[in-house]
Structure 1
Amino acid sequence: MNHFNRLVSEQMVTMEKLLYVQAEIERCQQIEKGLQTLQNATDLESIQTDIQLMKKELKEIQLIFEKQTEEVINSYLEKNLTPSM
């Protein structure tokens, strides 16, 4: 095999490797994007769960506040409506 043919043959092998690696990089990038989307979805679900828990806690605090407000109003009314001695 002459020098030219050997160089062309080596270049073809290199080209095949190059195309293979490019295809693998694209495939891995697609997998990476999928994993990032999945990770974001997991994070989103976690945040949504946190939000629901905080909304529940807020509702409980609002109920406590309403009860306290009623107690304050009742106490004020009792104090001011009860004749002083």
Structure 2
Amino acid sequence: MDIGEGEALLNPRSFKVHGKMCTELAKLVDRISRIVPDIEAARPGFSSGIESLCLLNNTIEKARVLMQHCSECSKLYLGIQYSQDA
């Protein structure tokens, strides 16, 4: 999987709860995602390099899932807060 092509990160404004932490994670994932294609193009020829690249790809995917979860939970939390205030 080439994570650097065509995948946009979540909108940082969608993080209502823990917004600063999620926004910083999004920035970090974006920065790392930009260099992954260059690393993949270098084609690490030894097993530890390939394994590290696979781990990096998996970690980035997990971070994106976490950010998606944070975004969805933020919406749910705000919906609950709004209904309690009403």
Structure with the higher fraction of residues in helix conformation: 1
Higher relative contact order (CA 8 A, sep 6+): 2
Look at both structures and tell me which one has the larger radius of gyration over its CA atoms: 1
TM-score (norm 1): 0.47
TM-score (norm 2): 0.47
